[in-house]
Amino acid sequence: MERPTNQTTVPAHTAATWLQRWDAQQEFYIADREERFAVIADVVTHVVASVDHPVVVDLGCGPGSLAARLHERLPRATIIGVDADPLLLGLARTHYGDTIEWVDGDLAGSTWHHHLPPTIHAAVSTTALHWLSRHHVAELYRFLGTTLAPGGALVNGDHLGHDDQRMNTLGTHVRDQRAQRAGVRENEQWDTWWDAALADPELAELNRVRATRLATRAAADGTTTGDETADGHTHHGNGLSVEGHTRLLHAAGFGSVAPVWQVGDDHVLVAIR
């Protein structure tokens, strides 16, 4: 079940601090994160160039890093960020305010898209869709294949492997070497960020809502949270390769699918309806 957009906020300086730490820990894994954001925005601006007031949806928006950068590039667009994590949405709402529309919805659910307008001109995502099962990725693609305006695009930035294991190994090596040259290997990491955020008294209300959400989800799924890390994810990923995503996107009705940018195993994959 989807919830109304979470309205809980935190002090502005607290949100700013945690978002700065978020960006730094993300760069540990994505040394060229800002370039990836820029490429995604390049694709979106091209796709919606003839639309006066485009609608762009950020799928799994987290604390709003990509959505905010898209708003800067496309100030006349309606940017909608969708995520199911109350903590990350609370930080996003506090820091970026109502310049972006925030939707508290689970992409693995069946009704999150009820919060969206009937026509979308572009959908974007960054390091998020690998959390979905293959079944739910396929469902998401089928929805976008019928909802995106003709000529609209899905633009997905993520660590994506290949069907060829030797190329996977090489891609990981290139990514690691790039991170070494970029000097991000000493940055804070994912688990450390989450451990600290969950212990911050100023985030206590958001964390309370979040804990209740996770417990409810676990009960509904008939599972326990024992295999999950502090952030509520299992970290297993769905294992979909570039080729696997491409097959699902073509099956969902997208006519053109290809990566437009790559550093090691870090891709920006574009699908045009």
Per the structure, the count of domains in the chain is 1
The per-residue pLDDT for 219 is 83
The per-residue pLDDT for 231 is 53
**Residue 213 placed within a domain:** yes
Neighbours of 77 (CB within 10 A): 21
186 touches 31 (CB < 8 A): no
**Residue 5 placed within a domain:** no
**Residue 79 placed within a domain:** yes
The per-residue pLDDT for 164 is 96
> Which parts of the chain have pLDDT scores under 70?
1-8, 222-236
Could you list the residue range(s) of the whole structural domain that residue 31 is in?
A: 12-272
Distance CA 145, CA 256 (A): 12
The per-residue pLDDT for 256 is 98
The per-residue pLDDT for 120 is 97
**Residue 127 placed within a domain:** yes
The per-residue pLDDT for 220 is 77
Distance CA 100, CA 80 (A): 6
Q: Report the SS3 class of residue 123.
A: strand
**For residue 172, what is the domain's CATH number?**
3.40.50.150
Contacts of 258 (CB under 8 A, 6+ apart): 246, 269, 270
User: How does DSSP classify residue 112?
Assistant: G
Which helix or strand (DSSP H or E) is residue 192 part of? Answer: helix 190-199
The per-residue pLDDT for 216 is 86
Pairing of strands 120-126, 78-83: unpaired
185 touches 24 (CB < 8 A): no
Residue 138's Cα: distance from chain center in Å? 16
Backbone angles phi, psi at 224, to 5 degrees: -110, 170
**Residue 1 placed within a domain:** no
Q: Which of 55, 183, 182 is nearest to 122 (CA)?
A: 55
**Residue 6 placed within a domain:** no
**Residue 246 placed within a domain:** yes
Q: Which of 272, 83, 267, 243 is nearest to 157 (CA)?
A: 267
CA distances from residue 148 to 120, 155, 273 in whole angstroms, order as listed? 5, 12, 7
**Residue 2 placed within a domain:** no
